[in-house]
Structure 1
Amino acid sequence: MKNCLKLTFDGGQTALAIRVAQQAELSDALEGIGLRGSRSVLIVVGGASNISEADFLRIQRLFTEVLAPIAESLGAYVVDGGTDAGVIQLMGKARTQIDAKFALIGVTPENKVALPNQEEPAADLTPLEPNHTHFVLVPGNNWGDESAWISGVATVLANNAPSVTILLNGGEITFEDAFSSVNVGRSVVVIAGSGRTADILANALRGQATDERAKKLAKSGKLQYIDLIDIEKGVENLGKIIKDLLDNQE
């Protein structure tokens, strides 16, 4: 396909990327880089550049002990924002750390990221995470423009298979990510104790909402949360919830 690129990162990792202009193109575009439904899909959304070191360390285990192993055991697709920061970086590193083979697809606004084979990218561009296997480059000049696309890619890849969104930490855009999943009927698992937006949403689910968006999302019936206060129990609970949603969701 003319909009297909092969990306080579400094560490030697390679990935396939595809440019798309509208959501109607997604099915053909994804097939063009070897991605076909129907397969379980795990979406990961949340904190990127502004995640604190303490929150980062607290949630790191969830990726290496739960998210990456479950994706590998199910042969699931994993879809996220594709940039080399925060929870997205953790997802990429976890895939490599456990030597997994599942497809990891980053969906990102092309005008906001630096492709690895660009000679002199603009200083304000964000690098792509090098452990991803595929990227979908979408239109947009602002972070958040990718939110509906992340959900759309997941819907196309899942087809009739189950999908679930995991929400950790996050800022303003993470609310948009959550609405993008809830609006298509996708379950969202919020990791309470991971900071910022995740904790606001968890408080809303406990009936302690102070944010109108959080109240609306909590009322959707599509959100649930696990708590990281006890990390051992949190790791165990997250694994059970994801397996249940991906095994039993219609």
Structure 2
Amino acid sequence: MKQVDELAFPNGHQAKTIRIHRNSDVLTSLKQLGLHPPSSTLVLVGGASGISPEAMEQLRSLFCNTLAPLAERLGLTVVDGGTDSGVMQLMGHARQHIQGSFPLLGVVAHAMVAFPDQPAPPDGAPLEPHHTHFMMVPGALWGDEAPWIAKVATVLSGARPSLTVLVNGGMIAWQDVDNSLRENRPVLVMSGSGRTADVLAAALAGDRSNDRANRLVESGLMEAIDLAAPPENLQQVFEAHLNPAMPISQ
């Protein structure tokens, strides 16, 4: 049985962590962490260190006013890349801001992690200190975690609804979207959030100039919504995917 460790952050928060290997059983590992599939699951992918400070401020309300409250109200498990940057930092801070109780699981390539009170590896990144759980997966490069994020979310959700949300994003975001589509998971693109998300939103709107975007759009599993849409509209779109049994107000 793999050992589950308790990781203590300088801010006083604690998180359960487990390290898995290529032949590990993901379901067993999730249960060892104290997570209990099936659980409706929100997968968050997108920009990390490449998001500008201005974009971070523009995105903050999406996380604090829409995504985190939705996860709390619907009892979702949120899965992301777990590091203290970009959309992952925004989700951790939003969970703390609303005093949320929903599980927030970071799936991180082990060799890229800068653990608290330990020297950081070259090109490594610290963990976001408001996450509740971390799964350390095989990998020594950024992007090695991408297929694991998609797989873990699939095992975690089981027959329950799951949705990937793309906010901003750089090169690895293309992998994240592709991996989610391979798992037959719908992807909601936040148009207006910048970079990869805007390229894919343009393709969804009919711009066929980017072959890579075109191939992803052809899956039929993607849609876009404007970041500037009223909060109630955003809530309805997310809820239609993640809680389809609940009547949606008009």
TM-score, length basis structure 1 = 0.94
Q: Secondary structure at the match of 1:131?
A: coil
Structure 2 equivalent of residue 101 of structure 1: 101
Per the alignment, do residues 96 and 193 of structure 1 end up closer, same or farther by CA in structure 2, a change over 3 Å counting?
same
CA distance in structure 2 between the aligned counterparts of 1:117 and 1:31, rounded to whole angstroms: 28
Distance in 1 of aligned mates of 2:42 and 2:140 = 26
Cα 1:24–1:238, aligned 2, differ >3 Å: closer, same or farther?
farther
State the shift of 1:236 in Å: 2.6
| Aligned partner of 1:248 among 224, 239, 244 | 244
| Cα offset, 1:238, TM superposition | 2.0
CA distance in 1, matches of 2:23, 2:165: 22
Structure 2 unmatched ranges of 5 or more: 246-250
Total equivalences in the alignment: 245
Segments ≥4 residues shifted beyond 4 Å = none
Q: After superposition, where does 1:81-96 map in structure 2 within 5 Å?
A: 81-96=81-96
Work out whether 1:155 is the aligned partner of 2:151: no
Counterpart code for 1:126: A
In the TM superposition, what whole-angstrom CA distance separates every residue of 1:198-250 from its partner, at most 9, and x where no partner exists?
A: 0000000011132211001111111101112xx3x24332211110111229x
Unaligned 5+ runs, structure 1: none
Shift of 1:25: 1.4
Structure 1 counterpart of 2:94, one-letter code: A
Deviations 1:74-93 (A, max 9, x none): 11100000000001100000
Rate the CA distance shift 1:234–1:224 in 2: closer, same or farther, 3 A: farther
> Are residues 123 and 172 of structure 1, via their aligned partners in 2, closer, same or farther at CA, if it must alter by over 3 Å?
closer
Contact 1:70 1:239 (C-alpha < 8 Å) held by counterparts: yes
- Structure 2 residue identity aligned to 1:150: I
Deviations 1:109-160 (A, max 9, x none): 0101111253x33353200000000000000111111111001111111111
Percent identity of paired positions between Structure 1 and Structure 2: 46
Q: Tell me how large the CA RMSD over aligned residues is.
A: 1.4
CA contact (8 A) 1:200 1:214 kept: yes
Aligned to 1:69: 69
What is the 5 A alignment of 1:67-216? 67-118=67-118, 120-122=119-121, 124-216=123-215
Conserved? CA contact 2:164–2:186, under 8 Å: yes
Instruction: State the alpha-carbon separation in 2 of the partners of residues 23 and 90 from structure 1.
Output: 32
SS state of the match for residue 30, structure 2? helix
Q: Corresponding residue for 1:239? A: 235
Looking at structure 1, the residues matched to 208 and 198 of structure 2 have their Cα atoms a distance apart, in angstroms, of 10
Deviates more, 1:18-27 or 1:215-224: 18-27
Amino acid at match of 1:182: L
SS at match of 1:210: coil
Shift of 1:185: 1.0
